[in-house]
Amino acid sequence: MTLRSVVQGIGHYLPDRIVPNSEFEKTLETSDEWIRTRSGIERRHFAADGQPTSDLAVRAARAALTNAGLVADDIDGIVVATSTPDLTFPSVATMVQKELGMTRGFGFDIQAVCAGFIYALTTANALILSGQAQRVLVIGAETFSRIMDWTDRSTCVLFGDGAGALVLAAEEGTGTSADRGILSSDLNSDGRYRDMLYVDGGVSTTGEAGKLRMQGNPLFRQAVEKLASTAEAALEKIGLTGADVDWIVPHQANIRIIQGTAKKLGLPMDRVIVTVQDHGNTSAASIPLALSVGVASGKIKQGDLLLAEAIGGGLAWGAVALRW
C-alpha cells in the first residue's frame, strides 16, 4: 500500500474588476493588438482598493472546501503560495486560518514567485506522506497589481490578481502511476538569473515593497527550455512521457511560452488548459486558477493525468505530475 496525496476539492476566486487591454491604451503607448499577439492576454482582474491577498485566498479556500464537502476543522494545515502577502508577517496562511475559523493545525506561506504553487503542492505532498497532516489546503493567491510600475508598458499589461485553492488529502494507492493523486514532482532554481525578474524593493534593503522589473525577452527563451525539461523530468520519474499526459496545466504567463512548451513535449494545444486570455499572469495563483477552470468546464475528468509546470523569479521552476 502506498500513501498518495489526492485532490478532494478545488475552487477559485477572481476579483470583480475586469480590465480589458483597451484600458491601457488610454495611459500607455500600447495597443490591444500588441498585447494580444505578443502575450495572448485579453483581460485581467484587479483586486479592489483595500482588498488584500488574504481576502482572495479566503474566498478561494471556501470554494475549495465547499467543493470537497469539508469544513475548516477537517483541515490539518494551510500552505499559501504568494509573493504579494498582506504584510511582511504574519503569513497569509495564518490570516486565512483565522477567517475560516480554524483553531488547530498549522499555516505558513511559500515564496517561489510564479513557481510558488508547484513548490506548495510538493511541500504539502511531503507533509502528507510524512504523516504530519492528513488534509492540507493548498492555496495560490496574488495581488500583483500592487507591485506594478504603471509607466512600464513592458510589464504592467501582463499581470493580474486572483486566487485558486485545492484540498489535498491522504489516500491509499497501489504505488503505480495509475493511482490518483500526486505522482511526482521536480523542483529547480538558479539564483544566477536574479536580474531577469525581480522586485526592486524589500524589507532589508529599501524598506518598501518595490515594483516588478523584468527582462522579458531573455526570460521568454529561458522559460520554454526550462519548462519542457522540468516537465520531462517529472514524467520520467514515473516512467511516463508526454504521450501519456491528458492535460498540461501550465503557468499562464504568455500564450507563446505555453505553445512552445507544449510543442517541445509533443502535445497539441487541445490538450492544454489555457486561461491566460482571461486572467493574465497571476503568478502563484495561475495554476490553481487554470485547474479550477479546467475542472469546472468539464475538460479535466477524474482519472486524467495532469502535468502542471511553472517558472518565475529566482529563477525558480518546476513541474508536478498528478492523476485527477
List, by residue number, the catalytic residues: 114, 251, 281
Q: Is 90 in the site for ligand COA (CB under 6 A)?
A: no
Shortest Å, Cβ 119 to ligand COA: 13
Is 186 within 8 Å of 238 (Cβ atoms)?
A: no
157 contributes a contact to ligand COA by CB under 6 A: yes
Q: Give the residue, chosen from 18, 19, 23, 38, that forms a contact with ligand COA under the rule CB under 6 A.
A: 38
Tell me how far CA of residue 115 lies from CA of 52, 151, 226, 288, in angstroms: 21, 26, 12, 12
Place of cell 513548490: 119
Please identify which residue in 184, 230, 275, 281 interacts with ligand COA, judged by CB under 6 A: 281
From CA 245, how far away is CA 231, in angstroms rounded? 11
Q: Is 277 in the site for ligand COA (CB under 6 A)?
A: no
Write each residue from 95 to 114 as x if it is in contact with ligand COA (CB under 6 A), else as -, in one continuous string. Answer: -------------------x
Find all residues with CB under 8 Å of 85, minimum gap 6, and list them.
53, 54, 91, 92, 109
Report which DSSP code applies to 266. T
| Residues in region 187-226 near ligand COA by CB under 6 A | 197, 214, 216-217, 219-220, 223
CA–CA dist 5, 8 (Å, integer): 9
**Residue from 309, 300, 275 nearest 14 by CA:** 275
Q: Does 242 bind ligand COA (CB under 6 A)?
A: no
* Residue 39 near ligand COA by CB under 6 A: yes
Tell me which residues touch ligand COA (CB under 6 A): 30, 34-35, 38-39, 114, 153-154, 157, 197, 214, 216-217, 219-220, 223, 253-254, 257, 281, 311-312
